[in-house]
C-alpha cells in the first residue's frame, strides 16, 4: 500500500523551489511563438505577456542560474555557463515590498522613488552576481582568485562608501544587510514622529547601473574566461511595478544594447503603466522590445496544448510511486460520454418531448401529442432531441422520419446528411445543457482529460490546479479506484465545480475592482446560461462576446478582467455584420458555475457588452427576451451563480 502524495500539489511556480522548477518544467515552445535560442540570443528586450497561471514564471525561472546549475550532476556550473554562453538572473519582489518602495518618501530628495527603487534593484541584482561568483569560486578554486574577484566587485562601489571586505562571503552578507536596511528603515520611518531617522545606507545611494552594468563594464566574466557570456535579466510581475518603477526598467530597456544586460520581462496583459523612461523618452515596440504572448493556445494550436498538458501530467504522475505506472487519460478518461450523461438526466422520462411539443404546437398552431411522434422514440435522448428540433425548425414529419431511419440504417441521403451533421457537429453537446434545464439537473457533468484541458482555457496553471483538486477529492471519496488508476466522472465533476466556485470567490479579492468585476462576470455568465438553456439552440455553446464603446471606467474594468484572466481576448478580430470587432471569451473555468460549455464555438451570437453589463443583476433584453417563452424562463433557470 502506498502513501498518497498528490502529484499535482506544487502548481504555483511563484512558490516553487529551483529543484521543483527543474523537476516539473515541460517545454512550451511548440505553441509559444518563440524558441529557447531566441530568448537567449535576441538583442532586443522580450516582453513575455500572459494571464495568471499561463507559465511565464516557470519559463523565466528555468533560465535562472539557480535552476541551470542543477541540470548536470557531472558537469560544473562554470563549465555549463561556458557552453550555454549566458547567465540568467531572475528578479521578483513581493507585491507588498514593491508597494512599500512606491510609497517611499524622502524629504529634500528629488525623484526619491526612482532613487530608492533603483537602489534596491541594483543591490538585488548585484547580490545575484555575487552568489554566482561564489559558485564559480567553489568549483574553480585553483583557477579563480577570490582576492581578485572581491577586489573587482568592490571597485563597483564609489571609494567613499566602499566597505573594508576581503572575502566574498562577507561581501554577500554586506549586500544582504543593505537590502534589509531599506525595508527596516521604512518600518522605522512609519513610527518616526519627529523625523529624526535619516536614510543613511552604508553603500550610499546607487543609481544609473553602477552595479548591474558596472559588473559588465568591469569585465569580471572575461577575467575568469567567460568573456562570451551574455547576462539575461528576467524581471517578473512587471504589471505590479508602479509607474515610476516601470520608468526605471524602461530606461534600462532603452539602453540595454549598450549595457550588454538583456531584459526578459514577464507581465500580464495591459501590464505597462507607462512606456516612458526617466528621461521622458519612450520605449517602442519593435525598436526596444519584442512582445511574445502566451494567451489562448487553444485557439490555433489545440492539439499542441493538449499534448503539452499530457506531458505535464505524465511527468507529475511518474514522479510519485503510487501513480508512476498510470496515464492521465486512463485516470480521467479521454473525453465525456454525452449519450450516457443524457440517459442519466432523462431516466426514461418524457419531459423533453413534452417541452418541445409545447413549443411546436404554439409556433405552428397545431396539436401534436407524444403518440403522434412515437416514431422518434429512441434509447438515446439526444437522437430524440435532434428529431424534435428539426420539427421545431419546420421540417415535415416525413422528412424527420426519413432522416432518422436513413441515419440508423447508414443510408446516404440528403435527409440523413442533415441529421448526421446536426447531431455530430452542431447540437449534440448543446442538447445536454437543454436537458439539464428541462429536468432541473443541478449539475452539468465536466470530466475527462479533454474537458479538463478545455476548462483551463489554455492556462496551464489552471489545468494543474484542477488536477490537484481532483486527486485530493479522489483520495477521500474514491481511494480504492484511485489506487487502481481511476477517478469517477462524479468526483471529476465535483472538482470542476469546486475550482469554478473558488475562482468566482477570488474575483472579489482583486484590488479596487473586485466587486464590480464580480457583477460583470455574473452578468456575462447569466446571459450565456440563458442561451444554453434555449430549446431552439439558435446559439449553440455560446461563450463569446463582443463589445460596444464603453465608458472610460468600464473600459478600465474590461482591461482589468483581461489582466486577471477573467476573460480572454481572441487573437484576431472578427467581422460581425460588416463591422470588424474584437472578440472575447469568458474564462472557461467559470463554465461549471454557469452550467455552460467549456468549448468555444464560432459564429455570431447576441451577447454584446455595453455599460449595462457592469450594473448589478442586469438582464440583457437581446438575450432574455428570446428565451422568456421557453419551457424554462430566466426566472426558473437553476442557480445562475
CB-based contact 600:508 (threshold 8 Å):
no
Nearest-angstrom CA–CA distance, 23 and 25: 6
C-alpha cell at 63: 533560465
Q: Are 314 and 327 in contact (CB under 8 A)?
A: yes
Distance of CA 351 to CAs 118, 191, 635, Å? 69, 70, 19
Q: Are 489 and 529 in contact (CB under 8 A)?
A: no
- Give how far Cα 391 sits from Cα of 363, 372, 405, 418, Å: 11, 12, 15, 13
- Between CA 126 and CA 597 the distance in angstroms is 50
pLDDT of residue 636: 31
DSSP 150-195: HHHHHTTS-TTT-----SHHHHHHHHHHHHHHHHHHHHHHHT-SSS
Q: Distance between CA 532 and CA 438 in Å, rounded?
A: 12
Q: What's CA 84's distance to the chain center, in Å?
A: 30
Greatest extent of the chain over all pairs of C-alpha atoms, in Å = 99
Q: Which residues, 6+ apart, have CB-to-CB distance to 413 below 8 Å?
A: 402, 403, 406
CA 542 from centroid of its chain's CA atoms? 21
pLDDT for residue 273: 92
Residues present in the chain in total: 641
What residues form DSSP beta bridges with 285? 289
In 478-582, alpha helices (H): 479-483, 489-507, 514-532, 552-563
CA end-to-end distance (rounded Å), the chain: 41
Which DSSP helix (H) or strand (E) runs through 255?
none
Residues of the chain with pLDDT under 50: 108-111, 628-641
Alpha carbon distance 620, 9 (integer Å)? 41
Task: Enter the pTM of the model.
Answer: 0.87
CA 366 vs CA 241, 351, 396, 408: distances in Å = 66, 19, 13, 28
Q: Strands 261-267 and 230-235, how do they pair?
A: parallel
CB within 8 Å of 614: residues ≥ 6 apart: 516, 519, 520, 523, 554, 557
Residue 293 is predicted with a pLDDT of: 85
Q: Are the CB atoms for 32 and 460 separated by under 8 Å?
A: no
Q: Which set of grid coordinates corresponds to residue 137? A: 569560486
Torsion of CA 462, 468, 470, 472, to 10 degrees: -150
With 0-12 CB in 10 A as exposed, 13-18 as middle and 19+ as buried, what is 399? middle
Amino acid at each position: 500500500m502506498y502513501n498518497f502524495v498528490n502529484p499535482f500539489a506544487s502548481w504555483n511556480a511563484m512558490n516553487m523551489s529551483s529543484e521543483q522548477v527543474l523537476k516539473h518544467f515541460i517545454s512550451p515552445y511548440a505553441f509559444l511563438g518563440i524558441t529557447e535560442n531566441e530568448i537567449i540570443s535576441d538583442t532586443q528586450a522580450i516582453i513575455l505577456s500572459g494571464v495568471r497561471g499561463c507559465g511565464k514564471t516557470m519559463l523565466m525561472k528555468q533560465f535562472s542560474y539557480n535552476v541551470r546549475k542543477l541540470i548536470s550532476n557531472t558537469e560544473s556550473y562554470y563549465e555549463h555557463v561556458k557552453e550555454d554562453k549566458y547567465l540568467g538572473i531572475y528578479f521578483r519582489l513581493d507585491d507588498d515590498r514593491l508597494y512599500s518602495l512606491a510609497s517611499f518618501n524622502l524629504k529634500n530628495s528629488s525623484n526619491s522613488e526612482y532613487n530608492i527603487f533603483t537602489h534596491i534593484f541594483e543591490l538585488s541584482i548585484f547580490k545575484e552576481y555575487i552568489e554566482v561568483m561564489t559558485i564559480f569560486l567553489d568549483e574553480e578554486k585553483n583557477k579563480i582568485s577570490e582576492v581578485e574577484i572581491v577586489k573587482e566587485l568592490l571597485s563597483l562601489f564609489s571609494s567613499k562608501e566602499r566597505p573594508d571586505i576581503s572575502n566574498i562571503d562577507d561581501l554577500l552578507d554586506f549586500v544582504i544587510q543593505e537590502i534589509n536596511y531599506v525595508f527596516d528603515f521604512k518600518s522605522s520611518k512609519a513610527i518616526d514622529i519627529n523625523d529624526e531617522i535619516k536614510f543613511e545606507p552604508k553603500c550610499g545611494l546607487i543609481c544609473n547601473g553602477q552595479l548591474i552594468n558596472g559588473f559588465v563594464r568591469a569585465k569580471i566574466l572575461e577575467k575568469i574566461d567567460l568573456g562570451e557570456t551574455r547576462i539575461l535579466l528576467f524581471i517578473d510581475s512587471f504589471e505590479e511595478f508602479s509607474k515610476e518603477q516601470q520608468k526605471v526598467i524602461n530606461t534600462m530597456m532603452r539602453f540595454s544594447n549598450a549595457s550588454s544586460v538583456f531584459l526578459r520581462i514577464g507581465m500580464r496583459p495591459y501590464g505597462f503603466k507607462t512606456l516612458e523612461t526617466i528621461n521622458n523618452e519612450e520605449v517602442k515596440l519593435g525598436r526596444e522590445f519584442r512582445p511574445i504572448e502566451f494567451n489562448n493556445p487553444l485557439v490555433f494550436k489545440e492539439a499542441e496544448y493538449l499534448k503539452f498538458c499530457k506531458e505535464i501530467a505524465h511527468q507529475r504522475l511518474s514522479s510519485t510511486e503510487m501513480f508512476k505506472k498510470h496515464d492521465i487519460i486512463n485516470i480521467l478518461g479521454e473525453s465525456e460520454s454525452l449519450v450516457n450523461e443524457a440517459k442519466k438526466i432523462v431516466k426514461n422520462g418524457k419531459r423533453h418531448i413534452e417541452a418541445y411539443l409545447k413549443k411546436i404546437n404554439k409556433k405552428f398552431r397545431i396539436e401534436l401529442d407524444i403518440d403522434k411522434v412515437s416514431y422518434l422514440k429512441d434509447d438515446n435522448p439526444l437522437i430524440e432531441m435532434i428529431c424534435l428540433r428539426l420539427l421545431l425548425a419546420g421540417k415535415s414529419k416525413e422528412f424527420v422520419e426519413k432522416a432518422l431511419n436513413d441515419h440508423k440504417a447508414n443510408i446516404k441521403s440528403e435527409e440523413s446528411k442533415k441529421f448526421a451533421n446536426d447531431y455530430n457537429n452542431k447540437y449534440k453537446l448543446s442538447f445536454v445543457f437543454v436537458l439539464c434545464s428541462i429536468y432541473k439537473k443541478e449539475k452539468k457533468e465536466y470530466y475527462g482529460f479533454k474537458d479538463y484541458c478545455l476548462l483551463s482555457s489554455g492556462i496551464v496553471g489552471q489545468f494543474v490546479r484542477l488536477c490537484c483538486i481532483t486527486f485530493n477529492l479522489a483520495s477521500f471519496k474514491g481511494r480504492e479506484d484511485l489506487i487502481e488508476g481511476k477517478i469517477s466522472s462524479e468526483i471529476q465533476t465535483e472538482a470542476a465545480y469546486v475550482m469554478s466556485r473558488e475562482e468566482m470567490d477570488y474575483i472579489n479579492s482583486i484590488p479596487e475592482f473586485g466587486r464590480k468585476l464580480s457583477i460583470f462576470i455574473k452578468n456575462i455568465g447569466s446571459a450565456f446560461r440563458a442561451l444554453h438553456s434555449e430549446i431552439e439552440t439558435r446559439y449553440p455553446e455560446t461563450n463569446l462576446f463582443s463589445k460596444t464603446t464603453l465608458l472610460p471606467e468600464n473600459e478600465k474594468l474590461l482591461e482589468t478582467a483581461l489582466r486577471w484572466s477573467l476573460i480572454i481576448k481572441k487573437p484576431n478580430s472578427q467581422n460581425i455584420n460588416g463591422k470588424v470587432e474584437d472578440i472575447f471569451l469568458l474564462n472557461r473555468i467559470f463554465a461549471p458555475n454557469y452550467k455552460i460549455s467549456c468549448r468555444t464555438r464560432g459564429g455570431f451570437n447576441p451577447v454584446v457588452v455595453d455599460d449595462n453589463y457592469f450594473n448589478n443583476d442586469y438582464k440583457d433584453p437581446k438575450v432574455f427576451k428570446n428565451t422568456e417563452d421557453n419551457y424554462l424562463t430566466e426566472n426558473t433557470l437553476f442557480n445562475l451563480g
